[in-house]
Structure 1
Amino acid sequence: MHFTGDQNSAAAAPAPGSTRLLPLVITLFFAWGFCTVLVDVLIPKLKATFSLNYAEAMLTQFCFFLAYFIVSIPAGLLISRIGYLRGIVLGLLIMAGGCLMFSPAASMGWYPAFLLALFVLAAGITIVQVAANPLAAGLGDPARAHSRLTLAQAFNSVGTMIGPLFGSAMILAAGVATPDAGLSDAALEAFRVEQAGHVRLPYMIIAAVLVVLAAVCWWVRRSPMPSVRPVGHADYFRLLGHPRLSLGALSIFLYVGAEVAIGSALVNYLIMVGATNSEHAAGNLISVYWGLAMVGRFIGSYVLRFAAPGIVLAVCAVCAAFLALLAGVVLEGTPAAVAILAIGLFNSVMFPTIFTLSIDGLGEDTAGGSGILCLAIVGGAVVPLLMGLVADRVGLALALLVPVLCYGWVAAYGLLVRFGLLESRGKHAVAARKP
């Protein structure tokens, strides 16, 4: 795949007929968005069931997104050898296995077992994402890569909008209960098993759907694909020498961390500011946060056909930072709830825009670049945990200053790219060949 630069490169054009796979790839974006956002609904349930503080509850996101750090590089190596679709099939089956692990975790009523299940689920998502992001960008005209990946991410947001409604109905509708302080050990264990049992069925349903989707991907595995070059460990160090990619990875780290930290805190924040007094209702409102991201991505898919992606990225990051600042230190009540939910609209184009800006010009090194960027998604583990630690010390509202700082860097990255301070490798290569 080649997004800009030497248009005579064999990697510049997609494989003939490969665009027919785009609907299937878009379905994958929906599936992992749906699975990822369920953690936001799971957090208040586990927090109450196991009497956790904010930092302990954020271990769910830490274990989930830690998988990106551990699995992304091996996933890039794997996909560069077995191809995009075979890698996706393996990732989907691992996702299904992680979902099935929620059943014994619920039967044991043991918090670490849930963390392990989340890690395995996320490991599968990581493999799928390392393959699907560059695949979506490469299935069509290279000049439309920004727009096409943003469109695919829009359907990811459809999943993240529907997921909280599904999770809230299946997990939170029965209520969120905290064990009484005077319970005996046996009674406490029984309480936790009973409460954790509400998590079992939704993940069993998801596992079945993922297996069907893996079967479909296996069926079409011989379809024409964009080219991908085998990657070695040394290639990752070489690729990190490109500032546009390495600083893009930092931007992914901070953006994902900010987005996940806010989503993870939404139920508790909305109850704290008085927007609702029900965890079930607050869980449903998470769909507004992610639904606005969906709307923004459909809009962004169109806008990015004409506007400079670096400027679009910077404007959205500044707006998100401003809203987080309002929600954290200025507003209260319903206005605060509106401000924090509206951040989703401006989150919309950040990931796909950072991603395509970062891999611009990598050509057949795109699989390696994708692995590095997906590794940076570990920000979703680190930033929420940091925000949880801050919240335990100074309160949840002031802890929103953590994502404010993250969005500040993302805006800076967009401006650095827009004003030519971080040229793509492809542009340097073309310049070097000019007489």
Structure 2
Amino acid sequence: MEARTVTEDTSMPAADTMHAGTGRIWLPLVLIVSLFFLWGGANNLNDVLIAQFKKAFVLSDFEAGLVQSAFYLGYFLIAMPAGMYMRRFGYKSAVVFGLMLYGIGALLFWPAAEKATYGMFLFALFVIASGLAFLETSANPFVTLLGPPETATRRLNLAQAFNPLGSIAGILIGQHFIFSGVEHTPEQLAAMSDAQRVAYYVSETKAVQWPYLVIGLVVLGWAALILATRFPKAAAPRATATPTAGSGVMGRLLRDKFFIGAMLAQFFYVGAQVGVWSYTIRYVQATMHGTPAKLAANFLTAELVCFMVGRFAGAALMKYVAPVRLLFAFAAINVVLTLYAVVHPGISGAYALAACSFFMSVMYPTIFALGVEGRSDDERKLGSGLLVMTIIGGAVLTAIMGAVSDRSSMSDAMVVPACSFAIIALFAWRRRTVRSAI
């Protein structure tokens, strides 16, 4: 695969593009930043779906965790094809195609609810995740190109700050339009007639239909708006090192130990984030007995508010503290907080998990930016695909946490994200040490 230099978005004719410095750039920037909001909502609606499907389909924690497994499997399988698609057709085309998949997947929730089949819901989530793989693969590197390279990490952190706004919106949609507030104990369900029990399960399953129908229509409308918008030229940054003649782009990336380190750190970060958020409602219900899911969701909302505040605070701190040093400090703090949630289950542990979200905030964009900094355009695009593939960590570690919970307790399951944050801290320490030596 021979490297080539790309200086503009190939999804639009040259006559229809404009340089990033013109006054007409504001609309494309708003549309790109909006993508961070849109996929934030989709990601965190899954946290609601885990609790909802556990109730509607009578699932174990491991089975309910398959919501995240199906979702992040889509990221894993589609991220590299998305990177190759973007390399061939450009950023804009990848964004539009991703939004179309996202919208179609959301619309599939309607027939899945009519059939009341868990497997169909998992397939719909896979389609949504496939669309989001296109969006994340294209939007993240595009933001790093829209300005000076020395501020790329801070700029991506700022753009990512809009992601938790979408996450909060997703939780509020789930809390007020999906959760019914009606929860029966096993004894109450056993006392019902078969017809009453079936009617209850059907109503809980169909609660997702209208919210996802609206989401699907909005997303498809957004795709049409982006399709009609002219996008700017995006000049690729000059690589810090000259690639070896004849070597493939993929080979160069996979031989780079720092890029591999970024992939591993991203794998464990996404696994930790998804695991903590996915099981927050279950953690609260398991350690604060009698708390209904609708009330427990308030803790998840608090986590997302902390996450959003952390994004803006992190972007501000990076003016004074090197991103890699901030990453190390935040990861180390989160090791302590998650272990506290293990040792002190209950309301104080739930507060520790909420605080953990503040310090998670800078991790994804910082690891991503460290992984692609100083690379050629081809390396950046394929590298973005590889980094997005590591989101499979959300499927793997969430399933592991569910299995630990089924065998032990939900509080003990928080050992998994604690170990993950320790690995992230090690990655940041090694990168910090190397940079100090240069």
The alignment's TM-score, normalised by the length of structure 2, stands at 0.88
Corresponding residue for residue 365 of structure 2: 352
Q: Is the 8 A contact 2:266 2:391 kept in 1?
A: yes
State the AA in 1 paired with 2:272: A
Deviating runs (4+, > 2 A) in structure 1? 14-23, 173-194, 221-229, 233-238
Q: How many residue pairs get matched?
A: 411
Matched with 1:208 is 217
State the partner residue of 2:327: 313
Letter in 2 for 1:201: W
Deviation of 1:228 after TM superposition, in Å, equals 9.5
- Counterpart in 1 of 2:10? none
Partner of 2:57: 50
Deviations 1:69-103 (A, max 9, x none): 10000000000011001110010010000000100
Give 5+ residue unaligned stretches, structure 2. 8-17, 239-246
Residue 211 of structure 1: CA displacement?
1.3
- Contact conserved, 2:110 with 2:209, CA < 8 A, in 1? yes
Following the alignment from structure 1 to structure 2, what is the Cα–Cα distance between the partners of residues 99 and 310? 37
| Alignment match, 1:108 | 115
Q: Are 1:361 and 2:362 counterparts?
A: no
SS of 2:208's partner is helix
Residues in 2 aligned to 1:351 and 1:341: alpha-carbon distance in whole angstroms? 17
**1:375 matched residue in structure 2:** 389
Within the alignment, does 1:337 sit opposite 2:350 as a pair? yes
Equivalence for 2:144? 137
3-state SS, counterpart of residue 207 of structure 2: helix
2:262 is the counterpart of 1:262: no
1:125 and 2:129 matched:
no
Unaligned runs of 5+ in 1: 1-8, 428-435
Output aligned runs, 1:30-429, within 5 Å.
30-177=37-184, 180-181=189-190, 190-227=199-236, 235-274=249-288, 277-329=291-343, 331-364=344-377, 365-420=379-434
Deviation at 1:163, TM superposition (A): 1.5
Instruction: In structure 2, give the amino acid aligned to 1:380.
Output: G
- Identify if the C-alpha distance between structure 1 residues 203 and 324 changes in structure 2 by more than 3 Å, giving closer, same or farther: same
TM-score normalised by L of structure 1: 0.89
| Distance apart, 1:15 and its partner CA | 5.0
Once the two structures are TM-superposed, the CA of residue 192 in structure 1 deviates from its matched residue by 3.1
Deviation at 1:291, TM superposition (A): 1.2
Partner of 2:15: none
Q: How big is each residue's C-alpha offset from its partner over 1:358-387, in whole Å with a ceiling of 9 and x where there is no partner?
A: 111112121111000000011011000011
Change (3 A) 1:373 1:422: farther
**1:88, 1:128 within 8 Å by CA — same for their partners in 2?**
yes
Matches within 5 A, 1:14-25: 16-17=20-21, 20=26, 21-25=28-32
Partners of 2:436 and 2:115 lie apart in 1 by 51
Judge conservation of contact 2:327–2:362 (CA < 8 Å) in 1: yes
Q: Does structure 2 conserve the Cα–Cα contact (< 8 Å) formed by 1:91 and 1:124?
A: yes
8 Å contact 1:170–1:202 — kept in the other structure? yes
Cα gap change, 1:203 to 1:226, in 2 (>3 Å): farther
